[in-house]
A and B are shown apart, each in its own frame.
Chain A
Amino acid sequence: MTRQRSRLQLLGAIAIAAALTWTSGMLASELPQSERLHASVHSAHVVDYATDVAAPGSPFFRSRATYDQ
């Protein structure tokens, strides 16, 4: 009886240790993974907010004139 209980305790201890190990891996995989990358990714295209001239291609363009016209 004592031997069986001792084995059960041992298996229980291994199960707890395995659960701790699994949890450790789970937490590690959930940790924020941030890495700094060196690259310039912004578009070189400059958007012009000054002009009032609408270019063709807009669905709202049709045959409208601009203020300047």
Chain B
Amino acid sequence: MSEPRIESFSVTRSARWSTALGESRRHAAWPLPLRQQIIVPFLLLLVFVAIVGVGALTYQATSAGMAGFDQGLVQASVQANDSLAALEAGRLNDLRALAATPGLATAVEAGDPELSALLAADTKPALEAHLVIRILDRAGKRLLSIPDDKARAAYGGLPAIRQVLTGANDGRGDKFVAMVPESSGPFVYWAAPIRDTSHRVIGAALLGVSIGTIATAIRPTETGQLFFYGPTGQPLDPAATGVGSLGGDVRQSITSDHLIRVSATAGGHNYAVAVTDWTMRGEHLGYLGVGLVADRVVDNVFTLRVILLFVFVGTALVVLLVGGLLARRITQPLERLVGSMRMVAAGDLTHRAPAGRADEIGYLTLSFNAMTATLEEKTKALETTSFASIEALARAIDARDPYTYGHSARVARLSLEIADEMRLSGDQLTALSRASLLHDIGKIGVEDRVLRKPGPLDKWEMEAMRAHPVIGYEMLKGLHFLESSLTGVRHHHERWDGTGYPDGLTSVDIPPAVRILTVADALDALTSDRPYRAAMTFSAAVRSIEAGAGRQFDPAVVRALRSRSGAIAGLLMVMSKPRVMPSDVLREPSI
């Protein structure tokens, strides 16, 4: 309340500063606090390194772990291929025995319904060995199946069977092998011709075994697994669910003396798989994979990944902690400096930023303080010069009228004396002094004939005279260093009871310094000669002011005037007021 203009002024400057800061943040390319700007790049780099590093390490660890299986895989692969060759030879031998069954050719040629009886003895061993027997006629039509399943009716369309039925005999012999997709999965069939006594082919005997049965029969170890792939790399064993296909690059890399190690998952286990080509009778039937359980490798890699993750999170936290502390070491002095800048920007040119360390920010702080000191010095000089100019103008206005010559200077001195009694602060004293010196500057807008009129003023003249506080206020309101004094200029004719002008302020709504100015103004006016009356004695003037306490004047200010009346009377005498007799005043009763 005591310094409304100063507060308003500060708020305006602060708002301006905040707006400028907001604008700069809005237009910043990266609207992050400096602390985050320091830490975030390191974190992003850490995340990048972590992602790439963990990926690369995991891949390498998996590769290295799988490589540990290579020797075992080669051995298992050799064993599996030997077993496969042995199985092939065994099944071929079974086929020869089957095709040589006495009476088979006659039964096939005649379409004898007793064919099944002829081979009845073969059913049991066939079932025990998971073998399938098919007897075909010359056209490839199925005559007999053991077991009697829902297999296709005709096999004559299959190239290998057709060759058997036509009696073909290439360099490898007259028996052929074919992989046939059946409803229960792919089967490998060995086919031999059935010939009559004149060696004419009258049918064919087929001995088949499923891929799954082969895989089980030649499995290298208890925990090992065989994976059969077709020529295009697709898995053949329907029981081996979840097994992926072989890519073209893998298939192309496989040669007779090169096998490829790949990883595969089946039955909830991870396998390291050695893949070779799968050839029977010179026919490329697909690829054979021999897998060894590699769960231990996967578990080790998993453990490694967990450790790496903890290392990453721990490192990230350490980076955050250390980075945060380092960033704070940098930003804290900056924040202090920014705080000082705000204070200076708000108008406190006497403020100095606290000295920091002997680094760039410390140097910046010293430079800022030096700049502020220079700014303060220049501003003071500018204000002094400006004020001296304005004061000269005010004195010139006083000098327009011989009756008011020196009025402003006296009012200023009297105001300060009363203010000192009322213990106003230093800033308020400065504002009061300036307001007192300039309070009548608005009279520059009042015509001389009104200002010097010896008699009473008419209504129009009174209005013109009453306009001078507002004129003075409008003249000075653009000068920031006088903002705190503007209330005195505008309101020095307000009255305690609210009947004053220009705004009709009442009692405490009138700033304290202005109330003092009003009393000092009245005292000097009463003790000065006027064209229409002689000057009052000091004691009469004080009595008159005391009579107006509570109506025109603040009683507290009047009491202060009374308390300092001796000193004030002395001042007026010094300032050429011969009618002032301090002893008169001192004898007056207190208010």
Q: Enumerate chain A residues within 8 angstroms of B70, measured Cβ to Cβ.
A: 35, 37
Flag if A47 contacts B89 (CB, 8 Å): yes
Query: How far apart are the CA atoms of A1 and B235 in the complex, in Å?
Result: 59
Closest to A42 in B: B81
Q: Enumerate chain B residues within 8 angstroms of A42, measured Cβ to Cβ.
A: 81, 256, 276, 279
B100 CB contact (under 8 Å) in A24, A27, A65? A65
Query: How far apart are the CA atoms of A59 and B88 in the complex, in Å?
Result: 15
Q: Is B250 an interface residue (CB 8 A)?
A: yes
A32 CB contact (under 8 Å) in B84, B263, B279, B316? B263
Q: Is B217 an interface residue (CB 8 A)?
A: no
Q: Is A20 an interface residue (CB 8 A)?
A: yes
Q: Interface residues of A, CB < 8 Å — how many?
A: 47
Closest to B60 in A: A28
Flag if A33 contacts B276 (CB, 8 Å): no
Contact with B along A36-51 (1 / 0, CB 8 A): 1111111101011111
Q: Is A8 an interface residue (CB 8 A)?
A: no
Q: Is B466 an interface residue (CB 8 A)?
A: no
Query: How far apart are the CA atoms of A32 and B141 in the complex, in Å?
Result: 45
Chain A contact residues, majority secondary structure: loop
> Within the complex, what minimum Cβ distance (angstroms) separates A18 from chain B?
6
Query: How far apart are the CA atoms of A13 and B44 in the complex, in Å?
Result: 10
Query: How far apart are the CA atoms of A60 and B78 in the complex, in Å?
Result: 29
Flag if A28 contacts B62 (CB, 8 Å): yes
Flag if A37 contacts B81 (CB, 8 Å): no
Q: Is A12 an interface residue (CB 8 A)?
A: no
Q: Is B47 an interface residue (CB 8 A)?
A: yes
Q: Is A58 an interface residue (CB 8 A)?
A: yes
Q: Is B55 an interface residue (CB 8 A)?
A: yes
Flag if B262 contacts A64 (CB, 8 Å): no
Contact with A along B44-71 (1 / 0, CB 8 A): 0011001110111111001100110010
Q: Is B298 an interface residue (CB 8 A)?
A: yes
Closest to A63 in B: B102
Q: Enumerate chain B residues within 8 angstroms of A60, measured Cβ to Cβ.
A: 94, 97-98, 101, 122, 125-126
A21 CB contact (under 8 Å) in B47, B102, B263? B47
Flag if B59 contacts A29 (CB, 8 Å): yes
Closest to B196 in A: A67
Flag if A52 contacts B316 (CB, 8 Å): no
Flag if A21 contacts B54 (CB, 8 Å): yes
Q: Is B261 an interface residue (CB 8 A)?
A: yes
> Within the complex, what minimum Cβ distance (angstroms) separates B255 from chain A?
9
Flag if A54 contacts B313 (CB, 8 Å): no
Interface residue tally on B, bucketed by range: 35 or more
Q: Enumerate chain B residues within 8 angstroms of A62, measured Cβ to Cβ.
A: 97, 121
Query: How far apart are the CA atoms of A20 and B411 in the complex, in Å?
Result: 79
Flag if A45 contacts B256 (CB, 8 Å): no
Closest to B278 in A: A42
Q: Is A4 an interface residue (CB 8 A)?
A: no
> Within the complex, what minimum Cβ distance (angstroms) separates A19 from chain B?
10
With known contacts A14-B313, A45-B85, A51–B308 Cβ distance under 8 A: no
Flag if A28 contacts B81 (CB, 8 Å): no
Flag if B55 contacts A24 (CB, 8 Å): yes
Closest to A13 in B: B43
> Within the complex, what minimum Cβ distance (angstroms) separates A46 from chain B?
8
Contact with B along A1-34 (1 / 0, CB 8 A): 0000000001001100110111011111101111
B256 CB contact (under 8 Å) in A40, A50, A64, A66? A40
Stretch from B6-14, B167-175, B400-408, B433-441 contacting the other chain: B167-175
Flag if B298 contacts A58 (CB, 8 Å): no
B257 CB contact (under 8 Å) in A24, A28, A38, A64? A38
Closest to B282 in A: A49
Query: How far apart are the CA atoms of A42 and B284 in the complex, in Å?
Result: 13
> Within the complex, what minimum Cβ distance (angstroms) separates B398 from chain A?
58
Q: Enumerate chain A residues within 8 angstroms of B81, measured Cβ to Cβ.
A: 41-43
Q: Enumerate chain B residues within 8 angstroms of A50, measured Cβ to Cβ.
A: 172-175
15 interchain pairs, CB-CB under 8 A: A10-B320, A17-B312, A25-B308, A32-B250, A36-B258, A39-B74, A39-B258, A41-B259, A42-B276, A47-B281, A49-B177, A61-B93, A62-B121, A64-B100, A65-B102
B-to-A contact residues, CB < 8 Å: 43, 46-47, 50-52, 54-59, 62-63, 66-67, 70, 73-74, 77-78, 81-82, 84-86, 88-90, 92-94, 96-102, 121-122, 125-126, 128-129, 172-177, 192, 195, 199, 247, 249-250, 253, 256-263, 274, 276, 279-281, 298, 301-302, 305, 308-309, 312-313, 316-317, 320
A-to-B contact residues, CB < 8 Å: 10, 13-14, 17-18, 20-22, 24-29, 31-43, 45, 47-55, 57-62, 64-67
Q: Which 9 A-B pairs have the closest CB atoms?
A: A50-B173, A59-B125, A43-B85, A49-B173, A54-B96, A28-B58, A54-B97, A25-B305, A60-B97
Further 5 A-B residue pairs, CB within 8 A, beyond A50-B174, A52-B96? A22-B305, A28-B56, A34-B260, A41-B259, A41-B274
